[in-house]
Amino acid sequence: MAVFKGAGVAIATPFNEDGSVNYDEFKRLIDFQIDNGTDAIIVCGTTGESATMTEEEHMEVSRFCIEYVNKRVPVIAGAGSNCTKTAVDLSIDAAKAGADGILSVTPYYNKATQDGLVQHFTAVAKAVDIPIILYNVPSRTGCNIQPATAAKLCKEVDNIVGIKDATGNLAQTTKMMQLAEGAVDLYSGEDGLVVPIMSLGGLGVISVLSNVAPAKTHEMCQKALDGDFAGATRIQLEALPLIDALFSEVNPIPVKAALEMIGFKAGPLRLPLTSMTEANRVVLEKELKKFLA
């Protein structure tokens, strides 16, 4: 069984003005997602600013989300690190807290070999008994899980079940799916490629867009799952101008600005991330209003 099918939100973490986590607003964000059809919540990922959290904060935010969601939808906890021991510790904590799965990013900065990736992810998988979704985002990590490596891990390690593919390389994705022979639960990590990836057998998306448009993101995925690719494509194409605006600056700068625009107190970003430029903000607000109209 897949951890989830459909639209999973890579949920933003709201902060207070002093930089602490705004847990009251986090509850509002979680309820907004569930009330609007989101199929899963992915906490403490890139969009959640996990890179600037302490390990203690990371674990605390994950625990809070798991407890507050209370099994209404699956919660997948971001628990990756460029240090294998840290990734193992975060994964164990998430599993103990009741996470339904773990999102484990490729080790960044170290530039592991493919054998190093196999050993890293296998060590994480051996430490827990819940499903693991690999997260391949070479534009951020400088490290790419090659198709044969992804297929090997999903075939040979029982609880490594899938991959969030944010490579933007459909040829690589296609090769991976061919080699995996049905062993990989594939999720798009690119909001602009949800329908193309689902046409290759993908089960859905782990989405930034869903933070501000959960109902439409869910609808797009559900149409594709139901075989209505014409209907899914229509939503995908309508969403592209907003998706472009949401990635006009590094994620999650634009999406936190967009959350403010629809009435949430997303709060400040933690340095080195900075506020969105006014020129890009104007475009984002226009496209947001247009798509949500």
Residues designated catalytic: 135, 164
Terminal CA-CA length for the chain: 36
